[in-house]
Amino acid sequence: MSLTFILGGARSGKSSFALSLAVDKRTVTFIATALPLDEEMKERIDNHKRERPKYWKTVEEPVELLLAMKSINSEVIILDCLTMWVSNLIEGYKDEEIIRKAEEVALYARDINSEVIVISNEVGFGLVPEYPIGRRYRDLLGKINQIFAKYANKVFFMIAGIPLEVKNESK
């Protein structure tokens, strides 16, 4: 049906914008990739849950996005976010495997009979990470963001809560 990709920096309004795109839909499933590894992350997750309408379904899946998406039958699927997903995979998978998984998810998301909204952080504007794992993460997420932007019908870049339309193939 359609794939919308929302990219931006931390706290740029990506999740709020995604919610606004789906708020009037009857069936929405939210796929959450974050793992509650510490108290701060638990609090962030709880805050995000409170922002979503109560009737939305939530699927917590930190690794197997394709499998999770295939099990969902909703008018809209929101995937939040690729940034955490790559972080969850980087220790246990080779870059080529992660890229292949991302390509499979992006292709599936573009072609299913749901509106899919995918969120990710732009990590290429900052400093070059000091350590090899940080550089690997930045480079890998950059490649994955490119994959999703390529297959998306619409791409938005968030700046200070303002969505800038970068791509719109439905016009």
Active site residues: 48
Q: SS3 of 33, please? A: coil
Cα angle at 49 between 77 and 21, to 5 degrees?
Answer: 40
**DSSP assignment letter at 113:** S
Contact status, residue 80 vs residue 52, Cβ threshold 8 Å: no
Contact status, residue 147 vs residue 99, Cβ threshold 8 Å: yes
Contact status, residue 123 vs residue 142, Cβ threshold 8 Å: yes
